[in-house]
């Protein structure tokens, strides 16, 4: 799948991106939305990673001295559109410097929590170790280069 085809699919499949301009940063293997700059001079944008099952949106702020993580939204595909399955936000006195490691680990825990809830709804059990292993694998899939 080429870059244009993937951008078209993303624009149609993820409502949060409809009408937004995307660029692909090959060095970081991430799609970036157009940012906006606040009155305080901080620039805010989304960094997006995709797989055939998941989309991970990082809400990022770029200040004069540091890059910070404002939140993560985790989406799954329901067959026709994206569905939010997890969200975490940071800010105010609880803000976080952006770290790929921290963002990845938080995404893994969000997916594990979602799957754990789904298992409880079905009355099924899977070990925490297996849930974490699957969640790590699924999030790592979003970090692999998807372009042919």
Q: What is the pLDDT of residues 12-53, one digit of tens each?
A: 555 555 555 778 887 777 888 888 898 888 899 899 998 888
Q: How far apart are CA 113 and CA 110, in angstroms?
A: 5
Q: What one-character DSSP code corresponds to residue 28?
A: T
Question: Does the pLDDT at position 108 exceed 60?
Answer: yes
pLDDT at site 77: 83
CB 64 within 8 A of CB 47: no
Residue 135 binned pLDDT confidence (cut-offs 50, 70, 90): very high
Q: In the predicted model, what is the mean pLDDT of the chain?
A: 84
Q: E-assigned strands of the chain?
A: 22-25, 30-33, 36-37, 43-50, 54-62, 67-77, 82-89, 96-97
Question: Does the pLDDT at position 144 exceed 90?
Answer: no
- Give the residue from 51, 23, 39, 42 showing the smallest Cα distance to 144: 51
């Amino acid at each position: 799948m080429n870059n244009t085809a993937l951008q078209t699919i993303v624009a149609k499949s993820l409502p949060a991106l409809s009408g937004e301009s995307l660029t692909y940063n090959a060095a970081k293997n991430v799609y970036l939305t157009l940012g906006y700059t606040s009155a305080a001079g901080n620039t805010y944008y989304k960094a997006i990673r995709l797989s055939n099952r998941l989309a991970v949106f990082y809400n990022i702020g770029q200040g004069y001295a540091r890059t910070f993580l404002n939140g993560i939204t985790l989406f799954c595909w329901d067959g026709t559109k994206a569905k939010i399955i997890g969200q975490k936000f940071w800010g105010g006195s609880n803000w976080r410097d952006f770290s790929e490691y921290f963002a990845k680990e938080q995404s893994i825990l969000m997916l594990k929590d979602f799957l754990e809830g789904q298992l409880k709804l079905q009355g099924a059990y899977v070990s925490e170790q297996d849930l974490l292993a699957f969640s790590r694998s699924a999030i790592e899939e979003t970090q692999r280069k998807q372009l042919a």
